[in-house]
Amino acid sequence: MSRHDRRRSKTQKRATIAGAGLLAAAAAVTTVTVASAGEPQARQKATYAVGAVFVQGNELGGNTVHAFDRAVDGRLTPAGVYVTGGKGGDQTDAPTDSLASQGSLVYDRPSKLLLAVNAGSGTVTSFRVRGTKLTERHVVSSSGDFPSSIAVHGRIAYVMNAGGEGSVQGFRITTKGLEPLAGSRRSLGLKNEKVPLFSSSPGQVAFTPDGRELIVTTKSANTIEVFPVRRDGRPSARAVVNKSAGAVPFAITFDTAGRMLVAEAKDSTVSTYKVRRDGVLGIVQKPLANGQNTLCWLERAGDFFYGGNTGNSTVTGYRSRGGRLELTNDVGIATPPSAMSQGVIDLAVTADARFLYVQNATSGTVDGFRIGRDGHLTKVSTTTGLPSFAQSGMEGIVAA
């Protein structure tokens, strides 16, 4: 090969390599452009399921759990309906909320169990959660009348029975579901019928974050009852009875420091307490009013809290600053109410505190909201077609 031919060959190779580099660079640019621009790609990402939301139907003829895929933008897509094997219930004279409680549907993340009360059957159902699929249904007696709330800590669960004298019954969480904990049943000493009057039934059972106390709110008695819990999971023989700081205590939640917040329905207030080891409550902050009507439900999202006001179908936002609770805005409404959002009851927050889901019993809908850095709520979806309040209605919602 001549010197001229060798030079021409090297020039062609350089051109080929350079051309390949240009093609690769163009391909890279094209890939970036496609991935970062265009509404269709954004919509495709928004429909990708990253979690689930479960809603309890509470139907009198046969209780169900409605499953929904949760997308990255918070939107919900129906993913199936599962029969619990028990019946829903409806408390006497309940205005919008058939169970008149918080915690009737609970998701225990460590065991991946979903627990649902069957108030009309006096039973509790557990499901194994796999994405939005519910398997391994297991039904046990609640050992009382009208179960309406569940609390879980570690491998122990307690069910609150609202009917009759009222009671709490303990269970061990096993690979098969719930198994009764012998010697754990405690009476609440109430005087209800088997199907209780909504205003005199207990509101919620809850564990303190460390699991050392089991707490029950009683509405008409205006008390908060605390059972110290032994290491074997059994509560003390009698509860320490504390007078509620506000009238008609209902829902319970805790802030990041372990202080207890209680929603009070009569004047739509929230009181903050320290739970002492002897079961006595110390008032940290007296009742804070939100200016709304009938605050019953309360859930935490990081340093924010959201309350459901069933009387005027609004959601109130709260912020905790150094243990002091305050409203996120002057009017006490975190998001404007709508015609499709009537009868606000129970709420659920995602584990990352990015989204809030609100049950609307009268309209049979669930609203999804994105939680802003300042606590402001932006609606991302309204899911329709759920059991609306009539003879009974849906109650109980969790985000998994």
Q: What is the pLDDT of residues 91-101, one digit of tens each?
A: 999 999 999 99
State yes or no: pLDDT of 371 exceeds 50.
yes
Token output for 22 = 């240009």
Tell me how far CA of residue 189 lies from CA of 146, 163, 221, 238, 281, in angstroms. 15, 11, 11, 10, 20
- 184: CATH: 2.130.10.10
Q: What is the pLDDT of residue 31?
A: 24
> Would you say 261 and 215 are in contact if contact means Cβ atoms under 8 Å apart?
no
**Residue 35 phi, psi dihedral angles, 5° rounding:** -75, -25
In a domain, 24, yes or no: no
Secondary structure percentages of the chain, helix, strand, coil, to 5? 10, 45, 45
30 lies in some domain: no
Does the pLDDT at position 104 exceed 90? yes
Q: Six-digit token pair at 366?
A: 């669930």
In a domain? residue 6: no
DSSP state of 168: E
Instruction: Give the separation between CA 207 and CA 275, rounded to whole angstroms.
Output: 11
Q: Does residue 20 register a pLDDT over 60?
A: no
3-state secondary structure of 201: coil
pLDDT surpassing 60 at residue 39: no
What does the angle CA 322 – CA 325 – CA 329 come to, to the nearest 5 degrees? 120
Residue 89 lies in a domain: yes
The mean per-residue pLDDT over the stretch 241-250 comes to 98
| Rounded Cα distance, 102 and 248, in Å | 14
Q: Is residue 13 part of a domain?
A: no
**Residue that wins the pLDDT comparison between 9 and 334:** 334
- Look at residue 120 and tell me if it is in a domain: yes
Q: Residue 365's closest CA among 388, 338, 396?
A: 388
Q: Flag whether 132 is in a domain.
A: yes
Residue 336 — pLDDT band, cuts 50, 70, 90?
A: confident
- Alpha carbon 218 to chain centroid distance? 21
Summarize the confidence of residues 71-91 as an average pLDDT. Answer: 97
Interval 169-223: pLDDT, tens: 999 999 999 999 999 999 999 999 999 999 999 999 999 999 999 999 999 999 9
99, 110 in Cβ contact below 8 A? no
Query: Where in the sequence is the domain holding 207, given as residue range(s)?
Result: 51-399
Cα 133 to Cα 190: distance, rounded to the nearest angstrom: 38
Going by C-beta distance under 8 Å and a sequence separation of 6 or more, which residues neighbour residue 227?
168, 186, 213, 214, 215, 216, 235, 236, 239, 240, 279
Out of 33-47, 336-350, 363-377, pick the least confident.
Answer: 33-47
The model's pLDDT over 123-174, given as tens digits with 9 standing for 90+, comes to 999 999 999 999 999 999 999 999 999 999 999 999 999 999 999 999 999 9
| Region of poorest pLDDT, from 31-35, 137-141, 264-268, 332-336 | 31-35
Residue 11 scores a pLDDT above 80: no
**204: its two tokens:** 């919620």
**Cα separation of the two ends of the chain:** 73
Question: Tens of pLDDT along 283-314?
Answer: 999 999 999 999 999 999 999 999 999 999 99
Q: Which residues contact 278 (CB under 8 A, 6 or more apart)?
A: 228, 240
Instruction: Please indicate whether residue 37 or residue 240 has the higher confidence score (pLDDT).
Output: 240
Strand (E) or helix (H) holding 385 = none
| Residue 255 predicted with pLDDT over 90 | yes
Contact between 198 and 100 (Cβ < 8 Å):
yes
User: Could you give the number of structural domains in the chain?
Assistant: 1
Query: Is the model's pLDDT at 12 over the cut of 70?
Result: no
Residue type (1 letter), 357: Y
pLDDT for 47: 58
Mean pLDDT estimate for the chain: 89
Mean pLDDT computed over 265-285 = 97
Distance (Å) of CA 259 to CA 227, 286, 386: 17, 13, 35
pLDDT at 32: 24
Percentage of the chain lying above the pLDDT 70 cut:
88
In this prediction, residue 385 carries a pLDDT of 96
Rounded distance between C-alpha atoms, residue 168 and residue 156, angstroms: 12
Closest CA to 350 of 340, 358, 342, 341: 358
Category of 385 on φ-ψ map: left (φ > 0), alpha (ψ -120 to 50) or beta:
left
* Closest to 119 measured CA to CA, from 95, 98, 91, 88: 88
Return the CA Rg of the chain: 26
- Residue 34 maps to a domain: no
